[in-house]
Amino acid sequence: MSPTTPRVTAVDTYDIRFPTSRELDGSDAMNPDPDYSAAYVVLRTDAADGHEGHGFTFTIGRGNDVQVAAIHSLRHHVVGRPVDELCADPGSLNRDLIGDSQLRWLGPEKGVMHMAIGAVVNAVWDLAAKRAAKPLWRLLADAEPEWLVSQVDFRYIADALTPERALELLRSGRRGAAERTADLLARGYPGYTTSPGWLGYSDDKLGRLAREAVAEGFTQIKLKVGADLDDDIRRCRTARRVIGPDIRMAIDANQRWNVGEAIEWTRALAEFDPYWIEEPTSPDDVLGHAAVRRAVGPVKVATGEHVQNRIVFKQLLQAGAIDILQIDAARVGGVNENLAILLLAAEFGVPVCPHAGGVGLCELVQHLSMFDYVALSGTTEDRVIEYVDHLHDHFVDPVVMAGGHYTAPTAPGFSATMRAESIAEFTFPDGGFWVRDRAGQHEPHTNGAAA
């Protein structure tokens, strides 16, 4: 390797926090006052192209510093690595990070350390896509099936999905990819909106936002439930009256219930025809979800935003515990592990409806669903990406919604790059917003408008 081989020169981290709790954006039965935050990482290189890789873990406030520390603890695996090799094979770094035996003890493959790995791995994919001058979904959809299989860690899932079977799925999945790419570019990928349904909103606001969602072209909305049954009945009735019988209405308990409670509460809301009940109980409870699913049909069971890794998703599928699999772009170990999860979903024939919202989760996860449509599952039927209308303006390449659909990104990368002004303003505790806030200069923070 020549002495001028471009290498990663820095792994810079930022503790970025938005004061969303002041508006009750994002409030639900378990999370009454989130301050949407990002433990943000930038990979810098000495390559002449000047590209950076951006990634992050989404958190909801306190503890964002712990997440930053975890990302920082991974830097020795990345700094000094040749950029060409890294971008040609992100799976190699992924394996090194997951295989760091000392750090592995802190998981394994779950929680703070695993999300840190996801942030770094996603930053590499962002860098790889920028260098390839493609949006990530297209980089993945254009890739050879053999290479995609090489990016997947089959440890602990080989009893459900072998590399050979994954290759078959990817080979058959790419048939017709050109037509689907054209369709995607023309019409986008269907979304649904959670913006009306936060628990902290009044019934009037709920009704108004639900009406607007339908007018905008969304065919599904979602309501948070689980704090008080009478409230939930009233809110579901309000929403159903506004949206009519043909718009899907999902409900989301954010892990509030025991198994028995989940069954009773969901049945009590069944008259409003909820499409799915999301996170009825602990995301760790595979058997519990299976019991709920057996009891609440035809209401579907959905989970995934807090499912820690491919191993738990594998079991949810093996146990027949879910109707809808909800990937999250920044909870598991990054794109590589989400490839494994998309492949598992395809193998079991379960539709993927990603979790999004937060900070930048919509920006990231759209790429995974679009790859899945173009080159794996080949369909958007019964598939929708969550959409929440906040904090997008902080991103350089924000999602663009049109008629309830995610417009396919065309800019190179993973849409992960946050605006430099936003980073400067909302870095905690020394960014401009937080300094002024502590000085008593309170200012309204609305959806992205503060940046």
* Binding-site ranges for a second copy (CB under 8 A): 30-35, 59-63, 65-67, 69-70, 73, 100-115, 154-159, 255, 258-260, 281-288, 291, 306, 308-309, 311-312, 314-315, 318-319
- Least CB distance from residue 263 to a second copy, whole Å? 10
- Least CB distance from residue 105 to a second copy, whole Å? 5
Q: Which residue number, 70 or 401, has a Cβ lying nearer to a second copy?
A: 70
The number of CA neighbours under 13 Å toward the Cβ of 299 is 29
- Least CB distance from residue 184 to a second copy, whole Å? 32
Q: Which residue number, 158 or 185, has a Cβ lying nearer to a second copy?
A: 158
3-state secondary structure the chain: CCCCCCEEEEEEEEEEECCHHHHCCCCCCCCCCCCCEEEEEEEEECCCCCCCEEEEEEECCCCHHHHHHHHHCCHHHCCCCEHHHHHHCHHHHHHHHHHCHHHHCCCCCCHHHHHHHHHHHHHHHHHHHHHCCCEHHHHHHHCCHHHHHHCCCCCCCCCCCCHHHHHHHHHHHCCCHHHHHHHHHHHCEEEEEEEEECCCCCHHHHHHHHHHHHHHCCCEEEEECCCCHHHHHHHHHHHHHHHCCCCEEEEECCCCCCHHHHHHHHHHCHHHCEEEEECCCCCCCHHHHHHHHHHHCCCEEEECCCCCCHHHHHHHHHCCCCCEECCCCCCCCCHHHHHHHHHHHHHHCCCECCCCCCCCHHHHHHHHHHHHHHHCCCCCCCCCEEECCCCHHHECCCCCEECCEECCCCCCECCCCECHHHHHHHECCCCHHHHHHHCCCCCCCCCCCCC
Among 53, 51, 31, which residue's Cα sits nearest to residue 43? Answer: 53
Residue tagged active-site, from 77, 224, 392, 394? 224
d(CA 178, CA 385): 22
Q: Which residue number, 208 or 306, has a Cβ lying nearer to a second copy?
A: 306
- Least CB distance from residue 163 to a second copy, whole Å? 12
- Least CB distance from residue 55 to a second copy, whole Å? 17
Q: Which residue number, 185 or 287, has a Cβ lying nearer to a second copy?
A: 287
Q: Which residue number, 66 or 178, has a Cβ lying nearer to a second copy?
A: 66
- Least CB distance from residue 200 to a second copy, whole Å? 13
Residue tagged active-site, from 51, 110, 314, 355? 355
Q: Which amino acid is it at 340? A: A
CB contact at 8 A, 222 and 386: yes
- Least CB distance from residue 407 to a second copy, whole Å? 29
Q: Which residue number, 66 or 88, has a Cβ lying nearer to a second copy?
A: 66
CB contact at 8 A, 11 and 78: yes
- Least CB distance from residue 216 to a second copy, whole Å? 29
Question: Catalytic: 355?
Answer: yes
Q: Which residue number, 113 or 169, has a Cβ lying nearer to a second copy?
A: 113
Region of residue 349 (left: phi > 0; alpha: psi -120 to 50; beta: else): left
Question: Catalytic: 224?
Answer: yes
Q: Which residue number, 277 or 384, has a Cβ lying nearer to a second copy?
A: 277
Catalytic residue numbers? 224, 355
